[in-house]
Structure 1
Amino acid sequence: MENNRQDISIRPESTEAKLIDAGIALFGELGFKATTTRMIADQAGANIGSIAYYFGNKQGLYLAIAETISRCILEKLSFADAPNPKRLNKQEARAELTAILHRMIDVFTKDNEAEKWLMLILREQVSPGAAFDTLYDNAFSKVQSHLSQLVARVCGTKPSSHQVIVQTHMLAGQVAFLLVGRTPLLRRLAKRESQLDAATIAIAKNTIALNINALDA
């Protein structure tokens, strides 16, 4: 059966969606090899044969998860509505770059769904495979390219320059590490809760803005 990816967002209670949700949690926690189809089916409350029916096999489910995460990243960051960087002047590009990175902070610190993706994405960064290619082609490269164009507008250079690509990578990396390094940060701040509070997030956003302002200093 051909899997209709759009149904996953339209029908969150569908078997496909439940299998994807279970796979995201288990693959992220245990890794691809240690996660069995039985584990996924049990967590999803589905028949084990449903994985083969909808996705072909475990690898097919894993790649479908990568496609789903890629689509959701672009949706949550509102890239479909983003203005064309080439039409922005320097100040507009700076404001748009700041807005996107602030939105990234909100997504990765406040969105429970996005937090579930994190471990799976990190695993693919450390040991890239076919799923990483899907994530890169469908999401990472698009985000990096768009942000690079904004950085280039701010700096007055070419988006393809190594300097701009690295600067963009470092800016986005600060946002990712805010969540990855949340536990030591909270301990350093002597906070007992497991989530970053509004005041800490505000400081993080201000730091990002300061770093963006320093791009063309």
Structure 2
Amino acid sequence: MKYRPAEGGYVRGDETRQLIIDMAIPIFGDRGFEGASTRMLVAAAGASPAAIQYYFGGKAGLYRACAECLADNTWQKLNSDARHLDDLPPGTDPDVMIDALADFFLAQEKTLHDDRDMAQRALFLAREQMSSSGPVFDIIFERLNQRVLMKFAPVVGAVIGKASDDPETRLRTAMIIAHMVGMRSHGQITLRFLGWSNFDDNLLLWGAVMRTHLRAMLSAELAI
């Protein structure tokens, strides 16, 4: 892809805007908003500070645009990968539904550890999700987090025999998602603790443990 036209200057339009976003996401992911300088961001895209002002109104606007793009793209991929959950007919055996959930989470974990770009995108999301407030947090919640939770709540509800909007269903769903996200953020810690170089050679054990944990989380009776 050409970053500049042959006659000089910058290509106007969606292509250049998207290029700046694509180059900025991993930088924001590694360094955060404050740690990513404008000079660093424009150098990665082969642009100038004026380009960020032109397309985004400044660094803060670029950060919001990155959040929108990242949330939308991540949701599209997750939703596509989880389409098999939509095909589970009413009355499906709970163990089958739990296996379907485990298959999805296992595939996501493998992709994350195999894909450096996705790992950097996960860092961007993690930084903002920890902030708990602000316009970028709202963007990621509305365009990604809420959609993911609403996607899995009907499956969790079906397993435990409750409606998808029941407070217990929603809380269990949130805890499952948090458990899986925690595994992502501790991936390298887990590898070192186990003395493994990667997860690929140990997927059978990993999948078995994940299924066991999911069954325990979804089958236990509440002690209240």
Unmatched tracts of structure 2, length 5 or more: 1-11
Q: Which residue of 1 aligns with 2:159?
A: 154
Task: Return 123-132 or 84-93, whichever deviates more.
Answer: 84-93
Q: Which residue of 2 aligns with 1:120?
A: 124
Q: Which residue of 2 aligns with 1:198?
A: 200
Deviation at 1:208, TM superposition (A): 2.1
**Aligned equivalent of 1:164, options 169, 187, 192:** 169
Asked if 1:57 is matched to 2:61, the reply is no
Task: Return 198-207 or 154-163, whichever deviates more.
Answer: 198-207
User: What is the RMSD computed on CA atoms of the aligned residues?
Assistant: 2.5
Q: Which has the larger radius of gyration?
A: 2
Supply the distance in 2 between the matched residues of 1:187 and 1:94 (Cα, whole angstroms): 28
Supply the distance in 2 between the matched residues of 1:203 and 1:144 (Cα, whole angstroms): 27
The alpha-carbon distance between structure 1 residues 15 and 136, as it changes in their structure 2 partners (threshold 3 A), is same
The answer (yes or no) to whether the contact 1:63–1:131 under 8 Å persists in 2 is yes
TM-score of the superposed pair, with normalisation by structure 2:
0.79
Deviations 1:96-132 (A, max 9, x none): 3233323322332223332111221121122232111
User: Which aligned pairs between 1:90-105 and structure 2 lie closer than 5 A?
Assistant: 90-91=92-93, 93-105=97-109
Q: Which residue of 2 aligns with 1:48?
A: 49
Find the residue that maps to 1:159 and give its secondary structure: coil
Unmatched tracts of structure 1, length 5 or more: 8-13
The answer (yes or no) to whether the contact 2:68–2:140 under 8 Å persists in 1 is yes
The alpha-carbon distance between structure 1 residues 212 and 190, as it changes in their structure 2 partners (threshold 3 A), is closer
Q: Which residue of 2 aligns with 1:32?
A: 33
Deviation at 1:181, TM superposition (A): 0.9
User: Which aligned pairs between 1:173-192 and structure 2 lie closer than 5 A?
Assistant: 173-191=178-196
Deviation at 1:152, TM superposition (A): 0.3
